[in-house]
Amino acid sequence: MTSDSRLSWRDVRDRIHEHILTGRYGPGDRLPRDADIAEELGCARSTVQRAMQDLSDSGLVERRRKGGTRVRAEPVTRATLDIPITRREVEQSGARYGYQLIRRRMAPAPRGVVAAFGLGASRPMLRVEALHLSDGRPYIFEDRWICPETSPEVNDLDFTEESANEWLVLNKPYTRLDLRFYAVSANPRLSDLLETEPGAALLVIERTTWVDDAPITTVKAITTPGYQLLTGS
Amino acid sequence: MTSDSRLSWRDVRDRIHEHILTGRYGPGDRLPRDADIAEELGCARSTVQRAMQDLSDSGLVERRRKGGTRVRAEPVTRATLDIPITRREVEQSGARYGYQLIRRRMAPAPRGVVAAFGLGASRPMLRVEALHLSDGRPYIFEDRWICPETSPEVNDLDFTEESANEWLVLNKPYTRLDLRFYAVSANPRLSDLLETEPGAALLVIERTTWVDDAPITTVKAITTPGYQLLTGS
């Protein structure tokens, strides 16, 4: 038994981190293979893997399928965000969920939607505006555009009972997701729909999805005052 | 050569997804092992792994280290968010970065900070308020609390040249991160600091980190109007 035989993955993580801080492994450098580090430290390879996973989760190193592990040239704060279906989000908070379709119609995609999808020109798409309610009060207003070429089923769906949010998450898995967060002041229509003061600060969660380069949907989820989106790792 | 020998990982993904939609694999069900699916479909195990990774990335299934793969009881929209050091974020946009320390002092942690860290009682912590600038204009105001027990080095750091943001990301890797996003209206002090209209809608990114249950820092990054936080997958 060597003196290092009881190294925990936290010990290994701290040693590798120490080597990064002291410059033994510089920004962008490739780290030794897990097996080699395990041999050097006299611990199991799985212990090194666990340590590397932790350093990767917190954004200090990058793991590549075949390219091994590198020190990030610029560390980042990395988080995984899981956004549930809005119905579930409301139900998980212990409130009663409600849904109200505001409007559903085909229309030429406006410039912002064309740009979000990265398309060259406008084309007719399905716009669905709907309100999600929590205990009878407005919770999120969603303003959504759906590309009917990618989801021809939507021509037969009226979205009066089931939300487009729920139908799409269940039926249209994406291969690419763009997400953006920003704040807007409530304009008269939003303050009316969301029953809030005009000018109130609202968090907007904008999501755009594609399946193999074909646009699926882009949606602005405009939340009510006080709404917080949380993540934990 | 079997008829399925040219299955791509996308074909495999679509087949598994089809089985989830049709209910062969229901919510919460455990899926067969990758090797068994590979054998059934007559493809390589790595092809199944790639397909499963994709279904997991888009939130339809959950992969566990030893527990195999399960269909998520409630699918989610899953995204990985990388938040760079603010200096790098400004520089990557092509602008000139600037930094200004507003105030640095020890103070008893207020209730919100105690709650964010999940502590039982208040204790003295280091509060650092600072402004990040882009081309000489306010970009982000950060209001930060640092726990000196976890980072005793901060007693010797004045944060006049290097921001606490940069020092902490480089020197204090965390094992737990809580992140929340919300919108606030600019109060008089914020509108003064950020040179914006009073009442303007501002996106706030709040981050709290721990290392092995010891609190490191909690920070509100209050952004200027028009700021957008983006992610792509």
> Percent of chain A scored above 90 by pLDDT?
59
Query: For the ranges A194-198, B48-52, B121-125, which has the lowest average pLDDT?
Result: B48-52
Average pLDDT value for chain A: 90
Chain A residues within an 8 Å CB radius of B88? 74
ipTM over 0.85: no
CB nearest to A179's CB, from B76, B79, B176? B79
- CB contacts < 8 Å between A and B, how many? 166
Q: Is A12 on the interface with B (CB under 8 A)?
A: no
Task: Provide the chain B residues 192-221 that lie in CB contact (below 8 A) with chain A.
Answer: 199-203, 207, 212
Nearest Cα of chain B lies from the Cα of A171 at a distance, in angstroms, of 7
Specify the 3-state DSSP secondary structure of B186.
coil
Instruction: Tell me which residue of A57, A56, A164, A18 sits closest to A105, measured CA to CA.
Output: A164
More confident residue, B172 or A186: A186
B111 and B101 Cβ atoms separated by less than 8 Å: no
Q: Which CATH number fits domain A9-71: 3.40.50.300, 1.10.10.10, 2.40.170.20, 1.10.3720.10?
A: 1.10.10.10
* B-chain residue closest to A17, CA distance: B173
Distance CA(B34)–CA(B26), nearest Å, equals 17
CB contact under 8 A, A74 and B80: no
Kindly report, residue by residue over A130-168, the tens digit of the pLDDT: 999 999 999 999 999 999 999 999 999 999 999 999 999
Which residue of B171, B207, B230 is in closest CB contact with A77? Answer: B207
With a cut of 70, say whether residue A2 has pLDDT above it.
Answer: no
List, in order, residues 6 or more apart from A192 with CB less than 8 Å away.
none
**What pLDDT does B156 receive?**
95
Across the interface, do A74 and B83 touch by the CB < 8 Å criterion? Answer: no
pLDDT tens track for B62-93: 888 776 899 987 778 888 888 889 999 999 89
Higher-confidence position of A49 and B218: B218
A174 touches chain B (CB under 8 A): yes
> Cβ separation of B178 and A80 shorter than 8 Å?
no
Lowest mean pLDDT of A51-60, A107-116, A174-183, name the range. A51-60
**pLDDT tens digits, one per residue of A36-60:** 999 998 998 888 988 998 888 778 8
Residue of chain B whose alpha carbon sits nearest to that of A231? B179
Q: Does B185 touch chain A (CB under 8 A)?
A: yes
Is the minimum CB–CB distance between A78 and chain B shorter than 8 Å? yes
Q: What is the pLDDT of residues B133-172, one digit of tens each?
A: 999 999 999 999 999 999 999 999 999 999 999 999 888 8
Residue of A nearest to B21 (CA): A171
Nearest one of A62, A60, A83, A6 to B211, comparing CA atoms? A60
pLDDT attached to residue A233: 46
| Banded pLDDT at A1 (limits 50, 70, 90) | very low
Residues of A with CB below 8 A from B78's CB?
80-83
Distance CA A109, CA A113 (A): 6
How far is the alpha carbon of A3 from chain B, nearest alpha carbon, in Å?
Answer: 24
Q: Which CATH code is given to the segment(s) A86-223?
A: 3.40.1410.10
- Residue in chain A closest to B91 (alpha carbons) equals A74
| pLDDT tens-digit map of A55-98 | 887 788 888 877 689 998 777 888 888 888 999 999 989 999 99
Q: Are B155 and B204 in contact (CB under 8 A)?
A: no
- The domain spans of chain A are 9-71, 86-223
Q: Which of A24-38, A113-127, B192-206 has the lowest mean pLDDT?
A: A24-38
pLDDT of residue A130: 98
The confidence score (pLDDT) of residue A19 equals 86
What pLDDT score does A170 carry? Answer: 83
Query: Are the Cβ atoms of A85 and B78 closer than 8 angstroms?
Result: no
Please count the CA atoms within 13 angstroms of the CA of A223 that sit on its side-chain side. 23
CB contact under 8 A, A82 and B78: yes
Contacts of A54 in chain B (CB under 8 A): 175
Cα–Cα distance measured from residue B47 to residue B49, given in angstroms and rounded to the nearest whole number: 5
Residue contact B178–A85, C-beta within 8 A: no
Distance from CA of A153 to the nearest CA of B (A): 14
Identify all chain B residues contacting A230, using CB atoms and an 8 Å cutoff: 178-180
Dist. CA B104–CA B127, nearest whole Å: 6
| Cα separation, A142 vs A207, whole angstroms | 11
- How far is B34 from chain A, CA to nearest CA, in Å? 18
Residue A215 has what pLDDT?
A: 96
B179 CA to chain A: closest CA distance, Å?
5
> Where are the strands (E) in A116-175, listed by range?
124-134, 137-146
> For chain B, how far is it from start to end, CA to CA, in angstroms?
35
